[in-house]
Copies of this chain bind each other. A is one copy, B any other.
Amino acid sequence: MSTPVRTRAARKSPAERSAEIVEAARLVALEQGLTAVTLRAIAARAGVAPALVAHYQPSMDALVADTFAHIVAEELDELSGLLAALPGPTERLGTLLDTLLDGTRDDVTIVWVEAWALGRRNDALAASVRTQMDDWQALLRRIIEEGVDRAGFRAPDVDAAAWQILGMVDGLNAQALVRWGDASERGSLIHGAVEGMLGLQHGALAVPD
């Protein structure tokens, strides 16, 4: 790997440059994980001196935490939009499971797994992880609540059920990261599991083409 020469970066407005650095961090995190979000790596990616990254960020811990939050919140927004277009809670829940387990978001899964590990040594990141988990759980909770009201879901403790489903999804994705190829069957059985949890009949969560 040769050292690419870096010409002096063009002078830009703080807002623009800061946004470029944030974006560089996002890309590096998605491509190489949160561990690779280092002062020098982000600087190189943004085409800028390391000191400039430090200039625009209070600390690398903070940049890592913000990058995590950015990536995860973005995915939540996308999925929320997708689900909003569906007619009811049953369709929303089935689609949510299928989408999260379709194996096309391994880059985000890596970010999650590394955040769990790094959060033990980065307080800001740990706080971000809790916030994002709460937000995801809230999405699930709303779907389940609506399901209880309108679609025959049986959930004595909606909060616990939402946490449970979230944990299952996260675990299956993390596991798929390590296992050999067969990512396809990742979601093959979770429908049955969630149906059992919520008192639905077998096949209730199947999503029609």
Task: Count identical subunits in the complex.
Answer: 2
B-binding segment of A62-70, A74-82, A187-195: A187-195
**Residues of chain B within 8 A of A170, CB atoms compared:** 171, 174-175
Interface residues of A in 150-209 (CB under 8 A from B): 157, 160-161, 163-164, 166-172, 174-180, 185, 188-190, 192-197, 199, 202
- Interface residues of A toward B: which range? 35 or more
Distance between Cα atoms of A21 and B192 in the complex (Å): 46
**Residues of chain B within 8 A of A117, CB atoms compared:** 33, 35, 113-114, 116-118
CB-nearest residue of chain B relative to A196?
B196
Task: Please report whether the interface of chain A is mostly helix, strand, loop or mixed according to DSSP.
Answer: helix
B-binding segment of A7-15, A22-30, A83-91, A126-134: A126-134
Q: A110-B120, A126-B178, A168-B172 are in contact. List 6 more A-B contacts (CB 8 A).
A: A113-B116, A116-B178, A164-B193, A167-B176, A171-B171, A192-B199
